[in-house]
């Protein structure tokens, strides 16, 4: 099994020396660099480059600069998607955003993690677990979403939260660690 196959099946893998993964990351980072250098007034050009970065988009979206990701092709965004400045998506695994998702500035979505066992971690091994964000979700500024998390439909995540576990639909959650504090008024 290749390192990429291990990654995609959720096993520990080494991304540091796999030439295919290194080239894929380099391609995405070059495109992010290009995207971040395009003037905000050049909307069509920005949209064209972002469609080259991301795996799947719908028509209505806006991702503010600066934006960074690892691979790009593992990211899918829904219709009416907005991501504010300085967001990072470490997409070693799939990251899926539903429709009507609004993300505040300085947010991070990290599918990659490292083993707790020191020997394995020092070997450069990592794992990747997908992140799924439902429809009609608002994520406040400075939020971090960790590997394997699912955030349900109609959820608000308060600013500064660290989301370590799934958040059920129709709720308002915040804190470190992020916890449900209210039912959402629909």
Task: Return the closest-CA partner of residue 19 out of 8, 27, 11.
Answer: 27
Q: Check residue 171 and give its pLDDT.
A: 98
CB 7 within 8 A of CB 15: yes
Q: Which residues of the chain have pLDDT under 70?
A: none
When the pLDDT of each residue in the chain is averaged and rounded to a whole number, the result is 97
The pLDDT, as a whole number, for residue 184 is: 80
User: What's the longest Cα–Cα distance across the chain?
Assistant: 49
Q: What is the pLDDT of residue 160?
A: 98
Q: Which of 43, 51, 56, 114 is catalytic?
A: 114
pLDDT of residue 186: 72
Pairing verdict, β 179-183 and 171-174: antiparallel
The predicted pLDDT at position 94 comes to: 98
The pLDDT of residue 185 is 77
The correct CATH number of 3-183 out of 1.10.10.10, 2.160.10.10, 2.60.40.10, 3.40.50.720 is 2.160.10.10
For residue 151, how many C-alpha atoms fall within 13 Å in the half-sphere facing its CB? 37
Q: Domain map of the chain by residue range?
A: 3-183
E strands, the chain, in order: 61-63, 67-69, 75-76, 81-83, 87-90, 95-97, 101-103, 108-110, 112-113, 127-128, 131-133, 137-139, 144-145, 150-151, 156-157, 162-163, 171-174, 179-183
Q: What is the pLDDT of residues 123-159, one digit of tens each?
A: 999 999 999 999 999 999 999 999 999 999 999 999 9
114 catalytic per annotation = yes
pLDDT given for residue 101 in this prediction: 98
């Amino acid at each position: 099994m290749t390192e990429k196959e291990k990654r995609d099946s959720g096993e520990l893998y080494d991304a540091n020396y796999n030439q295919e993964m290194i080239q894929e990351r380099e391609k995405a980072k070059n495109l992010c660099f290009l995207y971040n250098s395009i003037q905000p007034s050049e909307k069509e050009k920005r949209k064209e480059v972002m469609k080259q970065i991301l795996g799947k988009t719908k028509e209505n979206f806006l991702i503010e600069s600066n934006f960074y990701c690892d691979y790009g092709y593992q990211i899918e965004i829904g219709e009416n998607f907005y991501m504010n400045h300085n967001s990072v998506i470490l997409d070693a695994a799939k990251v899926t955003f539903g429709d009507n998702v609004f993300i505040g500035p300085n947010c991070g979505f990290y599918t990659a993690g490292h083993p707790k066992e020191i020997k394995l971690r020092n070997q450069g091994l990592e794992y990747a677990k997908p992140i799924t964000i439902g429809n009609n979700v608002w994520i406040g500024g400075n939020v971090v979403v960790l590997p394997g998390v699912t955030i349900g439909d109609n959820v608000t995540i308060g600013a500064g939260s660290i989301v370590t576990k799934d958040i059920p639909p129709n709720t308002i959650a915040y804190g470190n660690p992020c916890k449900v504090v209210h039912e959402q008024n629909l």
